[in-house]
Amino acid sequence: MDQQQNMQTYLIPNTSKNPNHFFQMDAKSQIDAMRNMRKNNQTLFGIYHSHPSSPAQPSETDLKEASYPETNYFIISLNTIGVLELRAFQIDNNTFKELTLTLSDT
């Protein structure tokens, strides 16, 4: 199967009591998503979340709670007027290293 055809997004609810400032994945939904990925022979490509009122820069909490060091982390900032800021990171030596994103129509 073409790898692109096997891509899927799993939406995991934010169960944080303060969702405008923290993100906490719903445990059951996260387990279900990982189970479905194994069942469908999929690989975790990335995890994304938004920062509603701050830049798309990882916080100390983001780093502390990053449970999948082998994946990409995408942060979308909603803190800009008229433009969404999207940045990507990987964990390297317990710090986030920014990735270069390139848009393509293929």
* Domain boundaries, given as residue ranges, for the chain: 8-98
Cα angle for residues 39, 10, 57 (degrees, 5° grid):
130
Confidence (pTM): 0.83
Determine the average pLDDT of the residues in 22-40: 94
The yes-or-no verdict on residue 83 having pLDDT over 90 is: no
Sheet holding 95-99, edge to edge: 46-51, 72-77, 85-92, 95-99
Please give the residue that has the higher pLDDT: either 74 or 61. 74
Determine the average pLDDT of the residues in 35-46: 94
Residue 82 corresponds to which tokens in the numbers above?
A: 């008229």
Kindly report the CATH class assigned to 8-98.
Answer: alpha beta
Residue 4: pLDDT band (50, 70, 90) is low
Where is mean pLDDT largest: 33-37, 47-51, 82-86? 33-37
Residue-level pLDDT at 57:
92
What sign for the dihedral angle of Cα 28, 64, 48, 54?
positive
The yes-or-no verdict on residue 13 having pLDDT over 60 is: yes
**Least confident residue range of 36-40, 51-55, 88-92:** 51-55
